[in-house]
Structure 1
Amino acid sequence: MTPEQFILLLEKQGIHLTKEQEKQYDTYYRMLVEWNEKMNLTAITDQADVYLKHFYDCLTLAIHTDLLNEPIRVCDVGAGAGFPSIPLKIALPHLHITIVDSLNKRITFLNELVRVLALKDVVCYHDRAEQFGQNKVYRETFDIVTARAVARLNLLTEFCLPLVKKGGYFVSMKAASTQEEKEESQKAITLLGGQLVDDISFELPQDAGSRHIIIVKKTKETPNKYPRKAGIPAKSPIR
């Protein structure tokens, strides 16, 4: 997908980019490739693939849901190179973005990216999701908490749902079929105060594969013991 195709396809979806936003995506791509030579940010570096499999893929959260229409607080857990939050922030400047990642050198990249792109209302934290979720400053304060291709759904639920405020949503972006993961995570979702409300499936353009957006609504407060201490959820997921 060329940048021009990216722009035109977004227009068809009702997302109209300014010249400044187009330039921000271009700068993002160039910085991603440059920094990727020094650290492992992504296996995808071809421009057409980055625009399709990263930028457009991230924006499907805005295209296929109506969750991001307001100036809400969004937390991206395990953002890596900034996906999905930074592509979303460029297209939807009204969002207030918080990024959490456990690797400090990725946070260094993201802070520099935010500075160069002149993005406002974006903060990046070097922290493990388990510790961040127990921080009373952030716990149960976000309208949307999202994660893209980070871990299995039952594990992501423990990482993300404690950060969602009551009435908000945990949104998991998945590439593969999700039926088994949904069944596996049902106990965790219920235990941590959520309710699975939707699984939106669609195909990416240019035969780039299937995608799923799993939406969990926060219906009650998460018990204080969750998330458990760092490392425990991965060793002993809720089943």
Structure 2
Amino acid sequence: MTGGKSSFTPDDFFRACDVSRETLDRLRVYAALLKKWQKSINLVSPQTVQDMWWRHFYDSAQLAALIPDRAGDLKILDIGSGAGFPGLVLSILGRGSVHLVESNSKKCAFLRQVIRETGARAEVHQSRIEDLPPFAVDYVTSRALAPLDRLLHWVVPFVTPQTICLFPKGQSAEAELKQAQKNWRFSLKKYTSRTEESAMILKLGKIRTLD
């Protein structure tokens, strides 16, 4: 596997993630649409477009290893989906039926086109998470949306005692955990990110408020 960012190719992704050629082809369609739409709307940071297979696709796919392969029968809630990372990647990787929550209408239009052209099992909710009627889910994901304490306030209506939250976090992870633990109790496991040594993935379960 290539160790660099811009040098990380779709074939590197194929080898690193052990996906089928069909799955890789669907992700290539996704990548092509991202490049096309990025010219007119800001889906991702412009500096990351050339590194997208590392910074976005591989970074999202690493969460799949933390979700059991149950023939796609899991229900996943991805909030602040933006360009679809990580939720849409997880859907294409067959981890479950994904509910993508995004308030920006243009980004929602992009997500719907990717779903149509890749056959992803995903549904787009054009809404702020605070305004979405709650429904129970198995997993919650969110990437670079808000501090952990705020995320938990938003997602608690959707979680059950069995729900797992997977939140990629950067260097602020420990500070966010310390703040969140003032208001919440949860089980916790930390995983070092494969794409950034100073980042981690927080796996939270059994989430409940202190009061």
Fold conserved between structures, TM > 0.5: yes
In structure 1, what is the equivalent of residue 103 of structure 2? 102
Counterpart mapping for 1:37-76 below 5 A:
37-43=39-45, 44-46=48-50, 49-63=51-65, 65=66, 67-70=67-70, 71-76=73-78
Q: 2:191 aligns with which of 177, 200, 203?
A: 200
CA distance in 2, matches of 1:73, 1:22: 22
Q: Deviations over 1:185-232 (max 9, x none)?
A: 113323xxxx1321222442xxx5433111221355999xxxxxxxxx
Q: Deviations over 1:122-164 (max 9, x none)?
A: 11001111111xx1xx33x001111011111111111122211
Q: Does residue 10 of the first structure (1) align with residue 14 of the second (2)?
A: no
Secondary structure at the aligned position of 2:184 is classed as: helix
Q: 1:212 aligns with which of 175, 181, 200?
A: 200
In structure 1, what is the equivalent of residue 156 of structure 2? 161
Asked if the contact 1:168/1:218 (under 8 Å) is kept, the reply is yes
| RMSD between aligned residues | 2.0
CA 153–219 in structure 1, closer or farther in 2 if over 3 Å, else same: closer
Asked if the contact 2:184/2:208 (under 8 Å) is kept, the reply is no
TM-score (norm 2): 0.87
Shift of 1:20: 1.8
Q: Deviations over 1:53-102 (max 9, x none)?
A: 10110011123x2x33222100000010000011111122x511111011
Quick one: percent identity of the two aligned structures?
A: 25
Shift of 1:21: 1.1
Q: Which runs of 5+ in 2 are unaligned?
A: 1-7
Alignment size in residue pairs: 200
- Which amino acid is the alignment partner of residue 80 of structure 1? G
Counterpart mapping for 1:46-195 below 5 A:
46=50, 49-63=51-65, 65=66, 67-70=67-70, 71-92=73-94, 94-120=95-121, 122-132=122-132, 135=133, 138-139=134-135, 141-190=136-185, 195=186
CA distance in 1, matches of 2:183, 2:167: 14
TM-score (norm 1): 0.77
Asked if the contact 1:166/1:221 (under 8 Å) is kept, the reply is no
Secondary structure at the aligned position of 1:216 is classed as: strand
Asked if the contact 1:142/1:168 (under 8 Å) is kept, the reply is yes
